[in-house]
Amino acid sequence: MSGPIDNRSLETTSRGPCSKAFKLYRTLARKKPLDPEGEESNLCRCLTTLDLVGLGVGSTLGAGVYVLSGEVAREVAGPSIILSFLLAAVASVFAGLFYAEFGARAPKTGSAYLYTYVTIGEMCAFVTGWNLLLSYANGTSSMAKAWIGTFDDLVDNVIGKTLQQHVMMDIPGLASYPDFFAAALIMLLAGILTYGVRESSILNTFFTVVNVAVLLFIIISGFIKGDLNNWRTCKKDIFNVTQQMENHTAAQNETVDIGIGGFFPFGLEGTLAGAATCFYAFVGLDCIATTGEEVKNPQKSIPLGIVVSLLICFLAYFGVSAALTLMMPYYLLDISSPLPVAFEYIGWEPAKYAVAVGSLCALSTSLLGVMFPMPRMMFAMARDGLLFKPLSYTSSRQSPVLATLSAGAVAAFMVLLFDLKAMVDMSSIGTIFAYSLVAVCILILRYKEDTNLVHRPEPVSISGLFRPPDQPTHRTSKNVRITMVVMLVLVIVLSVLLNEAMDSLRRQEIWSIVVVFVLVLMLIFTVIIICRQPQNTTQAAFMVPGVPVLPIISIFINTYLMVQLGSETWISYSVWMVVGLIIYFGYGIRHSVQKQRHQEMHTQPNVVHVIQIVDSAA
């Protein structure tokens, strides 16, 4: 505070709807200090860079590579799934760079939630954390369902047949039956995670090594036994297969759509839609970022762990999806267990057991990895007062016990209700939203006002946008924030337009071309304005290159991928967000630790001012 607060001015400005709205805005935008006074970490610093790489790879190479690849290839993208993974990986690489810089600057528990809290404000931080909880919960549930599905395939689908026979659910949008075995598996692993982070990390690393070895075997086998003709299926073959499938499913009144064959059987739209779903496959980045208070050297280990994990995971996804679609035609792939069926197809039936064992190890470590960050996110939000305080309790082994068990219970409840595809899509939307906010945070952080410099008041002018001072000031920082809001609106409108008017653009209709051209031109104009503003000179152990271009490209890719997701996913996501906002406005906004700090900061100057008045009167 630069001086005492005038009580009369406070009394005057506290009246009227405008001042109440401003007060609400100040409440929702209050920021958390990077190193708040009095906040102590109760977590154990015991993880190394190798542990983080194992955690990142383990949490990422699971259902995405063993199950999701078959479903997306057969129903959404065909052989072009390798490009879907490539697009999803590019978007994840950008997000990984942003996480790496924040991990070097703010080695704390909370990842994107914390980054948003210190740069944008409390409301956006809660939304980010709530989105990540959605991603973790659905990721955990989908991994558990995939684990049970793989195990069930080894025992001739006894589990699935039994549950379908006795507890069948016939409700649109939900799973065909509640998977009690997957729910039990989640609670079992939640119990293991409560024991300690170091023990869980050792188990995770062992499973990850087995997983990578099996994936290498799959990739090599696929390229040995693969056939390029499976990427060049003709329309005649597709017509014959379609007729056979329609005759087979006529009794169930089901429709069959296996595309038009070739490398892009569902068109470019299918490849992009596949990328939106495949984005789910790269959720391990945030898992690494949540370990900020449990790593021995976070400034070095977190950026390195993220970059190495990303590289390994992309190579694995690219190789396995290529091998899978080369081994057998995409339209014959099995949705629930694609790799074992593919090995049967090429005549290597004994290999399917090795693949099944490897997939169980992969899904085990992936399940551990995706469960790992969820309780830590709950812990960070509860410590800040935005979630219920008991969730911040830690055991004698420095593990967030109540948060871990609560996270397991939420994921177990979801696995009882939703099917795999629905959970994957909801996990993707939560992850993409969080990644977009991290990109926004990087822009705000890089163009933040340099408080160490003394600045003179600056007049507001259009010329100031293009000829700003050499050092970042309050005005230049505000210019960036305002321009970013305009840029985000343009990106959303452009993404929706490209998705809805793709046919018009192909037909080269004038109206669609003109609208897209104008929007792109305006977007470029906003980028130029941001580029002209001076950046903050504060250095970190790792700095994202190409700012502001890379964050803006990342925001556009993420937004376009979100637009590709279906209406059912958006409805489920809206319900989740409504529940979160009820919790925030009903509990978090009143119990926020930052609210208490702000009240203390405002009370102290008033006391000093009263003393000054008494002294002057005497």
Predicted confidence (pLDDT) per residue in 451-502, tens digit: 665 555 565 556 567 777 788 888 888 889 999 999 999 999 998 888 887 7
Q: Which fold has domain 49-249+258-442?
A: Amino acid/polyamine transporter I (1.20.1740)
User: Is the pLDDT assigned to residue 284 strictly greater than 70?
Assistant: no
Calpha distance 593→595 (Å, rounded): 5
Residue 591 has pLDDT above 60, yes or no: yes
pLDDT digits over 331-384, tens only? 888 887 788 889 989 998 888 787 877 778 877 877 887 788 888 889 989 999
How is the chain split among helix, strand and coil, in percent rounded to 5?
Answer: 75, 0, 25
Non-local (6+) Cβ contacts of 607 within 8 A are none
Q: 542 and 104 in contact (C-beta within 8 Å)?
A: yes
**pLDDT tops 60 at residue 572:** yes
What pLDDT is stored for residue 456 in this prediction?
57
Beta bridge partner(s), residue 47: 295
For the chain, what is the mean pLDDT?
81
Nearest alpha-carbon partner for 259 in 227, 237, 228: 237
pLDDT band, very low/low/confident/very high, at 584 (cuts 50, 70, 90): very high
Residue 295's beta-bridge partner residues? 47
Residue with tokens 């109440």: 20
| pLDDT score recorded for residue 618 | 40
**Domains of the chain by residue range:** 49-249+258-442, 453-565
Can you tell me which residue has the tokens 């069926």?
Answer: 341
pLDDT exceeds 70 at position 174: yes
Looking at residue 530, what is its pLDDT? 92
Q: What is the Cα–Cα distance from 61 to 281, expressed in whole angstroms?
A: 7
Q: Which of the four pLDDT bands, split at 50, 70 and 90, describes residue 242?
A: low
Measured on CA atoms in the order 441, 446, 447, 451, is the torsion positive or negative?
A: positive
